[in-house]
């Protein structure tokens, strides 16, 4: 077996390079009382790239994610999308700018059909709304079905959303997030609560859509198998600071990441073995 020795991960003190990036985040700070939740965080994200943001509990990744999404305002720093400042903009304004988000707990309408959920997202993308007693049954149905086809749910278009399996609910949420033709997609724990095969299927689907549409994706994730298999680059936070960034291989090899992220001296070795076993299992399943 050939062993590749990755270069050291790029540590956070080095400023992010912003040339040609879609999302550019520079020197973000956010404190809650005396707790510095985000401390001088800088990074960038290119169109067509999947960027994972990871770290132990309390590392500041959720706060960083919410700053980018407009749910929180930074104390200082700057964020731009294709050169346009995001500071002071609320989530609904970012939605209009082409920034979409999925949630750790899927945000769908259980009382509506699968297609109607996407039609509601299309209504929002078009800046329209319905009266409380109206349904979105006929609004841009062809477009809704096209989005459902992209996430492999078109056959279930007329089923109640409440009848979907959880993995299909996450696919539906992804279709809804694509309704505004996003340039930037923020995915908060996209595979939370999913079985291993479902996790990888969802992220493989996301990769396919990213390649087709050229969308930039920033996602947080606790499942390291998902991160190291599907991310193009990885950002690692600890105690509010960005301690490393690089390719999955670079981050896996970084001694500081291993020390801070795993704490007790564990390495990613066990993960390598798990990934190899998963790959072998998939290969065996594909045998005739």
Is pLDDT above 50 for 18? no
Q: Choose among 93, 96, 91, 131: nearest CA to 107.
A: 91
Residue ranges and CATH numbers for the domains of the chain are 1-78+186-288 (3.40.50.300), 99-181 (3.40.50.300)
What's the average model confidence in pLDDT over 257-272?
57
How confident is the model over 191-247, as pLDDT tens digits? Answer: 888 888 999 999 999 999 889 989 999 999 988 899 999 999 999 999 999 999 999
Please report the pLDDT score of residue 8 as a whole number: 40
Please report which confidence band the pLDDT of residue 279 belongs to, taking 50, 70 and 90 as the band edges.
Answer: very low
CA distance 258 to 67: 26
Whole-structure pTM value: 0.82
User: Do 112 and 135 contact (CB within 8 A), yes or no?
Assistant: yes
Q: How many CB atoms lie within 10 A of CB 15?
A: 11
Is pLDDT above 90 for 109? no
CA distance 182 to 240: 28
How confident is the model over 19-72, as pLDDT tens digits? Answer: 469 999 999 999 999 899 999 999 999 999 999 999 988 899 999 999 999 999
């Amino acid at each position: 077996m050939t062993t590749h020795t990755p270069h050291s991960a790029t540590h956070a003190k080095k400023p992010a390079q912003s040339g040609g990036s879609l999302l550019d985040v520079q020197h973000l700070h956010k404190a809650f009382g005396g707790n510095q939740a985000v401390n001088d965080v800088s990074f960038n994200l290119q169109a067509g790239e999947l960027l994972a943001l990871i770290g132990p509990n309390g590392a500041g990744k959720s706060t960083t994610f919410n700053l980018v999404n407009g749910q929180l305002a930074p104390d200082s720093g700057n964020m731009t999308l294709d050169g346009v400042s995001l500071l002071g903009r609320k989530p609904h304004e970012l939605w209009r700018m082409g920034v979409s988000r999925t949630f750790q707990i899927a945000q769908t309408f259980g009382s509506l059909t699968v297609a109607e959920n996407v039609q509601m997202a299309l209504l929002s993308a078009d800046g329209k709304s319905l009266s409380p007693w109206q349904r979105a049954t006929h609004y841009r149905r062809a477009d809704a079905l096209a989005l459902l086809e992209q996430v492999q749910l078109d056959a279930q278009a007329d089923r109640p959303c409440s009848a979907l399996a959880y993995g299909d609910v996450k696919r539906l949420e992804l279709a809804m997030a694509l309704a505004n033709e996003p340039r930037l997609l923020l995915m908060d724990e996209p595979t939370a609560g999913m079985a291993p095969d479902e996790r990888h299927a969802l992220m493989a689907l996301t990769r396919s859509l990213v390649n087709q549409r050229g969308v930039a994706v920033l996602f947080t994730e606790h499942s390291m198998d998902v991160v190291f298999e599907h991310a193009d680059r990885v950002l690692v936070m600890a105690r509010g600071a960005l301690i490393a960034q690089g390719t999955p291989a670079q981050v896996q090899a970084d001694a500081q990441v291993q020390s801070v992220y795993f704490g007790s001296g564990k390495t990613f070795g066990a993960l390598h073995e798990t990934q190899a076993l998963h790959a072998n299992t998939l290969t065996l399943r594909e045998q005739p």
